[in-house]
Structure 1
């Protein structure tokens, strides 16, 4: 079965993934109150080069997010719809990468949200400068040293995207930051990139976007652009198993295991692989 693909505005890069080895340390941190969620996260991870955090059951004083959408200009293969403005909402479950953009802290997070009397979409891409906490909260995840994700212009998709960058060589590199390019199956590309990174066994964390996702035992999802959050991920004997939550162009949500070989990447996949 041939994979569905999107036509992006720029030439396809010869290298279909990027890798930076690093040290990952398990952490539990307090996010302090700040003007923005980005500033709260940056303060909590100030001693690290970057990180991956999970936030659950956390109230926000303001919560704005996006879902996938069409680009009305036609300049990109996919775009965003929104912002969806919940006001005083609540994070049910949010996973986010912490890196930098233009030399300042930045984050990329996907998650599920709720608010009283809210009837709009319940999952999407959180806006880190428009959203902010209601009070300090706890988060858990991984603090990284030796590498981080940095936003750079991408000539293939014409998006500014996170890419892994080494900061310093570290003697205890037990992890790798990996980004995957469009129009390749996520599980297969992940396994190939992990092999290049020297990892055959790993826990996998991250997020990204898929074209017409297929979940095992479920009907095909009719959406050429989606946003996903990995809810569980493992790499064992060079084979990846990924569970994810997905939001479509219409705002519908789906959960399940990605069917290997049938989930092409839409724009990007940004992943953290941690050796057991």
Structure 2
């Protein structure tokens, strides 16, 4: 069902159309969005990488960007995907997804919301990479405000300060770097995985000096892929097809920051507002007893009206809105 906000949006921006498939047409029906630019042929940008697990604490009394950049420098990595747990922020501000105000974009961001008092972080997903040769990050989070409101949104890393230590758990990415690049289809600048040269350092048995002194990076590296999925591709299907083509039987999602055209959950619930942003709380691709791959993505999301929704995404019914970035850790292969 189309609400008044979406109807006004379409009338204001005739070059950008939202196609809403009838829910009565079966599971194969899927909404999609038309961006101002032409879609590229490749809908999944991928680089094969090595993933090095870490588990550390972000320092307090600095901005989120400073805390993450300092921690990643300690791991000697320019790229990582990870989740945050606990701790908090003060001051704190964020944006939410929003309808576009002009035809330059299909969707956009809200004005900045500033929260009074400290907020307690529940969890967040982070993609850490590079923008103009400097550290940058993309993060969606869910948090609890002093008023008791539980909310979700897009963090502003230069504007919020860590006021209590936050646990960061994920993987350093070696062999590629999520790099902010202009995207002609969406007219945004977005993280895309680009192949990077191996960093040179004094090593002993393939381990850097800093890694020898940190208990957070002692686990062996694993094979993986850094991925960016483009609009109008079902995120579950995209991951299943990617794994199938490479003989991957089981994989784990590390990080997971993106957006979908509304949402359909596997229990039948539907998020009708079509502009959303989300984080993957837990994700994996598994092979069932019949040999078929199934992506299981448990998410938290916020829509442009401020509604917070959570659940497992239904396969085949959740197209990417603007972008989706993550690292895929290979657990088991067919050969």
Q: What's the TM-score bracket when you normalise by the shorter of the two chains?
A: over 0.9
Runs of 4+ that moved beyond 6 A: none
Aligned to 2:19: none
Corresponding residue for residue 20 of structure 1: 47
| Shift in alpha-carbon separation, 1:198–1:161, aligned structure 2, 3 A | farther
Match of 2:239 among 146, 168, 190: 190
> What per-residue deviation string (whole Å, max 9, x for no partner) do you get for residues 179-217 of structure 1?
101011111112223345553321013121011210011
Structure 1 Cα separation of the partners of residues 111 and 152 of structure 2: 12
8 Å CA contact 1:21, 1:197 repeated in 2: no
- Work out whether residues 97 and 108 of structure 2, in 8 Å CA contact, stay in contact via their aligned partners in 1: yes
Bigger helix share: 2
* Structure showing greater Rg: 2
State the secondary structure of the residue aligned to 2:325. strand
1:39·1:105 contact (CA, 8 Å) conserved in 2? Answer: no
Query: 2:250 corresponds to which residue?
Result: 201
User: Any stretches of 5+ residues in structure 1 without a counterpart?
Assistant: none
**TM-score in terms of structure 1 length:** 0.93
For normalisation by structure 2, the TM-score amounts to 0.77
Which position in structure 2 is the counterpart of 1:243?
298
Matches within 5 A, 1:160-171: 160-168=189-197
Aligned with 2:263: secondary structure?
coil
| Corresponding residue SS for 1:190 | helix
Q: Which residue in 1 is equivalent to 2:69?
A: 42
Could you say which residue in structure 1 is the equivalent of 2:128? 98
Compare 123-132 and 47-56 and name the one that shifted more: 47-56
Aligned pairs for 1:220-259 within 5 A: 220-237=270-287, 238-259=293-314
Report which stretch shifted further, 74-83 or 189-198.
189-198
- The corresponding residue for 1:2 is 29
